[in-house]
């Protein structure tokens, strides 16, 4: 049984197409947002949002890379890429405010964020778990046909699917976390006077485009799980018909 086949790519093609479209959209929105000026930098906007919420203990650091921005809930640090950290643009303050939104979620014990943080190991190890047990399931017939006939192959396959299902669950839980952080950012930037109506539109363009990448990643994870459930079902059917 090949691990990947043509039908795998056909089955996942909606997610691939959506991801390519989302990547194109975010590049376009980001380029436009970098041309819309603001009075302060991304780092200054994040600092203002954090201080206003009483989170003066959350540090802001510059890290290398492009769109490498993230909030570290363990270290209580907001890490911003050079363009976001130092630029006075709508894209910079929008992304910085989004990450600051995660810090606000963390301080308020926002439910979906708590669940997402607990699910991080599933996202990290789920795919490796999947490949390990899938490989074991494929090896069982080579070592013992009796074990294969008794259902050990199917058991390993189902455990493998469980690994990818855990990773898919992380992606599903991640959606409300990211959407909420973006909504906070758009609202706070406008309410605090950091952006005007035109700048707010540019911010919304960047953050809404980014949201589609999360949707695409979630769709891909769910489709992978469905693909292997269907494939396992077909294999079971073929075996039963022999």
Question: Known catalytic residue: 59?
Answer: no
Residue 79: which H helix or E strand, with range? strand 77-80
> How many Cβ atoms are within 10 Å of 101's Cβ, its own excluded?
27
CA proximity to 105, closest of 3, 176, 5:
176
Q: Give the N- to C-terminal CA distance of the chain in Å, as an integer.
A: 16
Residue 63 near residue 94 (C-beta atoms within 8 A): no
Which of 35, 59, 61, 99 does the annotation list as catalytic?
99
CA proximity to 1, closest of 165, 231, 240, 163:
231
Q: Which two tokens stand for residue 196?
A: 């005007």
The catalytic residues are 99
């Amino acid at each position: 049984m090949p691990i990947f086949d043509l039908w795998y790519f056909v089955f996942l093609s909606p997610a691939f197409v959506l991801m390519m479209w989302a990547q194109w959209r975010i590049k376009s929105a980001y380029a436009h947002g970098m041309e819309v000026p603001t009075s302060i930098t991304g780092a200054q906007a994040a600092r203002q949002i954090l201080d206003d919420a009483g989170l003066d203990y959350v540090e802001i650091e510059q890290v290398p890379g492009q769109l490498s921005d993230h909030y570290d809930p363990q270290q209580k640090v907001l890490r911003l890429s050079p363009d976001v950290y130092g630029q006075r643009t709508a894209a910079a303050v929008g992304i910085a405010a989004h990450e600051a939104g995660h810090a606000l979620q963390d301080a308020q014990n926002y439910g979906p964020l708590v669940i997402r943080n607990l699910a991080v190991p599933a996202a990290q190890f789920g795919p490796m778990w999947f490949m390990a047990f899938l490989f074991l399931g494929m090896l069982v017939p080579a070592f013992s046909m009796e074990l294969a006939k008794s259902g050990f192959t199917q058991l390993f396959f189902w455990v493998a699917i469980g690994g990818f299902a855990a990773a898919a669950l992380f992606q599903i839980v991640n959606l409300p976390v990211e959407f909420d952080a973006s909504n906070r950012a758009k609202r706070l930037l406008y309410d605090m006077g950091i952006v005007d109506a035109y700048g707010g539109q540019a911010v919304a363009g960047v953050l809404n485009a980014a949201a589609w990448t999360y949707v695409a990643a979630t769709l891909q994870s769910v489709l992978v799980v469905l693909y292997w459930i269907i494939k396992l079902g077909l294999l079971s059917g073929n075996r039963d018909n022999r």
